[in-house]
Amino acid sequence: MFLRNWINLGRKHWKEHLANMYRELKKAVMLEQALAEAAELTYQAAGRIEQQSVQPAWQQVREIYLLLPPEASQKTDESR
Protein backbone atom coordinates (compact mmCIF):
# COMPACT_ATOMS: atom_id res chain seq x y z
CA MET A 1 0.00 0.00 0.00
CA PHE A 2 2.70 2.51 0.93
CA LEU A 3 4.42 1.90 -2.41
CA ARG A 4 1.31 3.30 -4.09
CA ASN A 5 1.63 6.41 -1.91
CA TRP A 6 5.28 6.77 -2.91
CA ILE A 7 4.40 6.30 -6.58
CA ASN A 8 1.82 9.09 -6.26
CA LEU A 9 4.34 11.30 -4.46
CA GLY A 10 6.91 10.65 -7.19
CA ARG A 11 4.39 11.32 -9.96
CA LYS A 12 3.50 14.71 -8.48
CA HIS A 13 7.15 15.62 -7.90
CA TRP A 14 8.31 14.51 -11.35
CA LYS A 15 5.47 16.34 -13.09
CA GLU A 16 6.27 19.56 -11.23
CA HIS A 17 10.07 19.45 -11.05
CA LEU A 18 11.10 17.11 -13.88
CA ALA A 19 8.61 18.06 -16.55
CA ASN A 20 10.78 16.99 -19.51
CA MET A 21 11.57 13.58 -18.02
CA TYR A 22 7.92 13.15 -17.03
CA ARG A 23 6.72 14.02 -20.54
CA GLU A 24 9.25 11.72 -22.24
CA LEU A 25 8.46 8.77 -19.96
CA LYS A 26 4.73 9.30 -20.46
CA LYS A 27 5.17 9.56 -24.23
CA ALA A 28 7.16 6.32 -24.24
CA VAL A 29 4.48 4.66 -22.06
CA MET A 30 7.13 4.04 -19.40
CA LEU A 31 6.04 6.51 -16.72
CA GLU A 32 4.23 4.05 -14.45
CA GLN A 33 7.04 1.50 -14.73
CA ALA A 34 9.67 4.13 -13.91
CA LEU A 35 7.64 5.38 -10.94
CA ALA A 36 7.14 1.85 -9.63
CA GLU A 37 10.85 1.10 -9.97
CA ALA A 38 11.80 4.35 -8.22
CA ALA A 39 9.39 3.60 -5.36
CA GLU A 40 10.72 0.03 -5.06
CA LEU A 41 14.34 1.22 -5.03
CA THR A 42 13.43 3.78 -2.37
CA TYR A 43 11.80 1.01 -0.31
CA GLN A 44 14.81 -1.29 -0.65
CA ALA A 45 17.30 1.43 0.26
CA ALA A 46 15.18 2.50 3.21
CA GLY A 47 15.07 -1.07 4.44
CA ARG A 48 18.86 -1.30 4.39
CA ILE A 49 19.32 1.72 6.64
CA GLU A 50 16.16 1.56 8.72
CA GLN A 51 17.82 0.32 11.91
CA GLN A 52 20.80 2.66 11.69
CA SER A 53 19.10 6.01 12.14
CA VAL A 54 16.67 8.08 14.14
CA GLN A 55 15.26 9.78 11.02
CA PRO A 56 12.94 7.48 9.04
CA ALA A 57 14.99 5.74 6.37
CA TRP A 58 12.65 6.60 3.51
CA GLN A 59 13.20 10.30 4.22
CA GLN A 60 16.93 9.77 3.87
CA VAL A 61 16.76 7.95 0.53
CA ARG A 62 13.74 9.41 -1.24
CA GLU A 63 15.86 12.07 -2.98
CA ILE A 64 18.07 9.36 -4.51
CA TYR A 65 15.37 7.64 -6.56
CA LEU A 66 12.05 9.38 -6.17
CA LEU A 67 12.22 13.10 -5.37
CA LEU A 68 14.91 13.97 -7.87
CA PRO A 69 16.31 17.52 -8.17
CA PRO A 70 14.52 19.85 -10.60
CA GLU A 71 15.69 20.04 -14.18
CA ALA A 72 17.87 23.02 -15.10
CA SER A 73 14.99 24.66 -16.98
CA GLN A 74 12.73 24.23 -13.94
CA LYS A 75 15.27 25.93 -11.66
CA THR A 76 15.42 28.90 -14.01
CA ASP A 77 11.62 29.13 -14.22
CA GLU A 78 11.23 28.97 -10.44
CA SER A 79 13.68 31.83 -9.86
CA ARG A 80 11.58 34.27 -11.91
> Does residue 56 or residue 35 have the better pLDDT?
35
Annotated domain spans of the chain: 2-78
- Cα–Cα distances (Å) from 50 to 30, 46, 74, 79, in that order, read 30, 6, 32, 36
d(CA 80, CA 73): 11
Predicted structure pTM score = 0.67
As a whole number, mean pLDDT of residues 16-20 equals 96
pLDDT band at residue 45 using 50, 70 and 90 as cut-offs: confident
Give the integer Cα–Cα distance in Å for 34 and 65: 10
